[in-house]
Each structure stands twice: as C-alpha cells, then as structure tokens.
C-alpha cells in the first residue's frame, strides 16, 4: 500500500474537504494556512515533484494551472487582487510532502517577495 499522505487523500483513505475535483486533480485547503487563503492543488498521479515531469504530465499540469488560476482563484475564491502559486521542489526548495503539489496563496498582500 502506498504510504504517501496525498495519495491517501486522492484515494479517499483519509477524509478531506475538497474545494475542487476532476479526473486529474483535487484541490484542498492546507491544514496550516499561511497566509489566510491557502489551498493545495494535488495531481491524482503520484510523482515526487516538477523534476519528474514528462510531456504527458506537463500537459495536465498546464491545464491544472489554468483551472487553479481562473476557476479556483478568481471564480471560487475571488482573489482578484492577486495571488501566488508555488511548488516547493526538493529538500532545499522546502518540500516536505514528496508528491507534487502547488500551493495557492492569497487573501492578503504577500510581502515576502522572493526571486
Ligand atoms: P510542502 O512543504 O511539501 O511544499 O507542502 C506540504 C503542505 O501540506 C504544507 O503546507 C502542509 O501544511 C500541508 N499538509 C501537511 N499535512 C496535511 C494534511 O494532513 N492535510 C492538509 N490539508 N494539508 C496538509
Ligand atoms: Zn502520492
């Protein structure tokens, strides 16, 4: 049995409150929201992070980012002032759950600008 936290959520082995679901993704609220609006877009397929993208996965992720930015951020959450999408990648990137996911952050002005 897969020991991955997000795979268990995808399979319904751990109950989660889904804001959105389609054949490729779920979107859930982060358990430790920081800032106040904080969701995770999780692909249903397990792979560790962005370094494991292939062409097929990249197409799905592109569609997922479109849904995250329009349907979720603008229409469902009304983040019209702006938001941030982050994929922490690997240990030095601060990734703690090694199943690819995108953080959607907003609901207040984000000050800790990086890059
Ligand atoms: P990472 O550090 O890998 O970029 O992000 C993992 C995220 O998963 C963290 O923001 C953490 O708060 C969130 N998280 C960890 N465990 C759970 C959980 O059981 N439920 C939910 N909804 N989020 C979780
Ligand atoms: Zn997984």
Residue 73 DSSP symbol: I
Number of domains within the chain: 1
Where does ligand 1 bind, in terms of residues with CB under 6 Å? 5, 28-32, 40, 88, 94-97
10-residue mean pLDDT series, the chain (115 residues): 91 95 98 95 98 98 98 98 97 97 96 73
Residue 111 lies in a domain: no
- Rounded Cα distance between 56 and 85, Å, is 21
- Residue 50's pLDDT is 98
Residue 65: which CATH number?
3.30.428.10
Residue 81 DSSP symbol: T
Residue 102 lies in a domain: yes
- Residue 112's pLDDT is 80
Contacts of 6 (CB under 8 A, 6+ apart): 42, 46, 97, 99, 101
Residue 115 lies in a domain: no
Residue 29 lies in a domain: yes
Count of Cβ atoms closer than 10 Å to residue 10 Cβ:
23
Catalytic residue among 38, 98, 101, 103: 101
Q: Is 29 exposed, middle or buried (0-12, 13-18, 19+ CB in 10 A)?
A: middle
Residue 101 lies in a domain: yes
Whose alpha carbon is nearest atom 24 of ligand 1? 31
pTM of the model: 0.96
Structural domain harbouring 41? 5-106
- Residue 56's pLDDT is 98
Instruction: For ligand 1, pick from 9, 19, 32, 41 the residue to mutate: most ligand atoms within 8 Å of CB.
Output: 32
């Amino acid at each position: 049995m897969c020991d991955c936290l997000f795979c268990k959520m995808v399979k319904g082995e751990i109950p989660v409150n889904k804001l959105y679901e389609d054949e490729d993704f779920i979107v859930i609220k982060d358990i430790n929201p920081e800032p106040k609006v904080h969701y995770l877009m999780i692909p249903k397929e397990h792979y560790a992070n962005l370094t494991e993208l292939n062409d097929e996965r990249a197409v799905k992720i592109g569609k997922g980012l479109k849904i995250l930015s329009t349907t979720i951020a603008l229409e469902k959450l009304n983040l019209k002032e702006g938001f941030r999408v982050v994929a922490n990648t690997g240990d030095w990137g601060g990734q703690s759950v090694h199943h690819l996911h995108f953080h959607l952050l907003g609901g207040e002005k984000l000050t800790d600008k990086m890059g």
